[in-house]
Structure 1
Amino acid sequence: MAKTNDEKNRTDLLNRLKRAEGQLRGIQRMIEEGQPCLDIASQMAAVRKALDSAYVRMTVCFMEQELCARLGDDSRKPLEEVLGDVQTLLGKVR
């Protein structure tokens, strides 16, 4: 199984997860402060979307790495374009 070797992609994924972590901490504070359930639910939905987005990004990174390894680095540019479209399409599924 591939690992996240590209530093740019690794940084992007970590930043996405750190943002989601911050959102989760905010939700915990909201619960501790007794905020309305609808507000908390809204923030929970935002965290779920952020995690879904990170998962899609990780999946596309994996596909890019595996395909480039098997097809050669000459295929990187066309693959990046196609996989960018795939990421956009998968992002609309949620």
Structure 2
Amino acid sequence: MAVLTDEKSRTDLLNRLKRAEGQLRGIQRMIEEGQPCLDIASQMAAVRKALDSTYVRMTVCFMEQELGARLGADAAVQAQLAPMLDDVQTLLGKVR
């Protein structure tokens, strides 16, 4: 299985996960403090959305990396792939 080699993509994914981790800690604190269930559920939905979004981004980064490696990493190929991969990310983000 391939790994993400693009440092910018890896940093982006890690930052997204760290934000989700912070949200989860906030939810734990809300439960400890006895906050209303609807408020907690709302925050849980936000974390799920953030994780789903991170998964989609990771998938698109992987596709971009692998397609670039197989088709050639020159600027012309990248320019043709970018709009298609943006569309793929948008479509995958709507699944659920």
What CA distance in whole angstroms lies between the structure 2 residues aligned with 1:77 and 1:55?
A: 23
Determine the structure 1 residue equivalent to 2:21. 21
Rounded to whole Å, the distance in 2 between the matches of 1:24 and 1:90 is 24
Amino acid at match of 1:10: R
Distance 1:87 1:39 in 2: 29
Deviation at 1:78, TM superposition (A): 1.2
CA deviation map 1:23-68 (0-9, x unaligned): 0000000000000111101100000000000000000011111111
* SS of residue matched to 1:93: coil
Percent identity, aligned pairs only?
84
What is the distance in 1 between the residues matched to 2:79 and 2:21?
A: 33
Q: CA RMSD for the aligned pairs? A: 0.9
Give the 4+ runs in structure 1 shifted more than 6 A: none
Return the TM-score normalized by structure 1: 0.95
For structure 1, the 5+ residue unaligned runs are none
- Number of residue pairs matched by the alignment: 94
Q: Does the CA contact (< 8 Å) of 1:2 and 1:65 recur in 2?
A: no
Identify which range, 22-31 or 68-77, moves more after superposition. 68-77
